[in-house]
Structure 1
């Protein structure tokens, strides 16, 4: 059984790690240790190990709100880091002052972040100022800052988005259930009258019954309320005009009601309300 000292990497004097943790952007040392965990201990290929490490590192940058380079470029950067380490390891027996100095410089550089930021991250308008400042501080001194605060803000935003999406889904499911129930009620009288009619009148009765039923549906206050409720739901949930219009038209179509007519009714009611307010203000 190999001891921990035996599993430590040369020069770094640390064993490969099971995961990358912390509230800072991953360092080159962490990335290198994680790579050798996949490659040496998990038995993955070099390309497979690079891919696995990049997939683990990129979410840290995403949580920090910083635009990153491509996955291919990140893999190439990791490949160069591994090659540099292996080159030093091959020449570790060379006893020359310059070589020893280069090793110490390389070891010190491993404490810096494994920088995957896009070249335009600090100039882009869609990157927040606090995120840009965090990147600068991480580049200058990785130990001086953390993204604990950024994580909390991001977590709250995600929580609100999930909550809003769940609420919206429940509201639409309730609307669909009401529409299905009303449609079922509307079809029942037509089916019963069709079954009780004589064979001679079966060809024309369903059509007349269907038109008659649609006429009743058009005049039904409850259906108008459901359609207007669907429209108000779109307003309350801040849907886009296109989304609200599609939902509104689909609801009207279920009941055989012209969407344009209901829109006009809605517009006329809004206009009359505004006119009433204006006259009240003048008086």
Structure 2
């Protein structure tokens, strides 16, 4: 007999139930525990504890559940959507239950199937992963764990961070620290200005408002030297800011692939993210979205990220050869067809060409 059918059996079973038991859901819980990511049932049981036991509003209960859920996902080192978005998903799940409860007296096949489907999905993952979680996760075991949890019944459990993963994380942190030290040595001083803090920035912002959210300006030794301005889009930086709620000034402390950017000519870099959060997909109408579309439409000078240059993307835009730094690659629109072996360097100045070639030679 299904869980939905059991919930509607009248008589002595109903009278012996605890007051904290909810139709189709079961007993309340006071916290989320276990070695798996929270299920839909876990979320509802915790929600009803606050909503029924403590008489909290739907939104307040959902907010508390969202905080618990995101804390649990953080333990698994898996990036999530925002806490506010999680709260909305909790409310949507509650409203789904409420709609079924409203029609619980119906005995139609449709109602019965809806209840059975709802109960069957209670032990499935309450998925709040970031849309690009699989791309953002750098550890193979973390990706495998998320994939397993998304299966029916949430296969797999969270284990302690084993030695292999711990060593991998340690090496990554040491690499970032070493890179940060190299950046500081390469640039003796950096002048950081928020948009709107100077007349120069204000005059430039009108043509780049869609992508400018942060400027990183190297100090130029000559006060008469005019600095070039390059707009850069980095989805890693944008998603990190959204996920952690870090301010733009604090974001300057976040690692960015400066070793790649410093190969460019001296200038200011306005860093932002694609408005639609896509790398680049060809739409049915023939246009491109995401970063590829922005480069294709000349909205930005170049894009930075671990691009996969597919034949379809190459048909839409010419990419330069990748300049790698910690798996990052810079791609720019070529000014024209480049047939010679140094064609990928044509967008750069002679000084930069020599520096890039020398860098490649010593690797």
1:56 alignment counterpart: 68
Q: Report the CA distance between 1:76 and its aligned residue.
A: 1.0
SS in 2 for 1:73: helix
Contact 2:37 2:149 survives alignment (8 Å): yes
Q: 1:11 aligns with which of 24, 44, 55?
A: 24
Q: Which residue in the other structure is 2:124 paired with?
A: 112
Alpha-carbon distance between aligned partners in 1 of 2:95 and 2:109, rounded to the nearest angstrom:
22
* TM-fit CA distance, 1:98: 1.1
Query: Alpha-carbon deviation of 1:117?
Result: 0.5
User: 1:125: how far off?
Assistant: 4.7
For residues 181-234 of structure 1, give each alpha carbon's deviation from its aligned partner in whole angstroms, at most 9, with x where no partner exists.
xxxxxxxxxxxxxxxxxxxxxxxxxxxxxxxxxxxxxxxxxxxxxxxxxxxxxx
Aligned residue among 144, 148, 151 for 1:133: 144
Identify unmatched segments of 5+ residues in structure 1: 161-236, 245-283
Call closer, same or farther: CA 1:86–1:19 in 2, change over 3 Å: same
**Offset, 1:240:** 3.6
Higher CA-based Rg = 1
Instruction: State the Cα RMSD in Å.
Output: 3.2
Show the counterpart of 1:220: none
1:33 corresponding residue in structure 2: 45
Alignment CA distance shift 1:141-1:57 (3 Å): same
Higher relative contact order (CA 8 A, sep 6+): 1
- 1-side partners of 2:183 and 2:81: how far apart? 34
Shift of 1:115: 0.3
Q: Does the Cα contact within 8 Å between 1:63 and 1:154 map onto a contact in 2?
A: no
TM-score by length of 1: 0.52
Whole-angstrom CA distance in 2 between matches of 1:90 and 1:153: 51
Q: Distance in 2 between matches of 1:42 and 1:103?
A: 27
Match of 1:21 in 2: 33
**Equivalent residues in 2 for 1:1-283, closer than 5 Å:** 4-12=17-25, 14-122=26-134, 124-149=135-160, 151=161, 240=181
Q: More helix per residue: 1 or 2? A: 1
1:50 and 1:3 map into 2 onto residues whose CA distance is 29
Preserved CA contact (<8 Å) 1:27 1:114: yes
Distance 1:48 1:153 in 2: 40
Question: How does the TM-score come out when normalised to structure 2?
Answer: 0.41
| Distance 1:241-1:81 versus aligned 2 partners, 3 A rule | same
1:144-190 Cα deviation digits (max 9, x unpaired)? 300113x4569968xx9xxxxxxxxxxxxxxxxxxxxxxxxxxxxxx
Q: Deviations over 1:31-62 (max 9, x none)?
A: 00000101111222211111111111112211
Measure how far apart 1:66 and its partner are: 1.1
CA distance in 2, matches of 1:75, 1:62: 16
Change (3 A) 1:96 1:54: same
TM superposition shift of 1:139: 0.6
Q: Distance in 2 between matches of 1:153 and 1:31?
A: 32
Aligned to 1:201: none
With over 3 angstroms needed to count, the CA separation of the structure-2 counterparts of 1:92 and 1:121, relative to structure 1, is same
Displaced runs of 4 or more, over 3 A: 151-157, 237-244
Contact between 1:112 and 1:139, CA under 8 Å: does it hold in 2?
A: yes
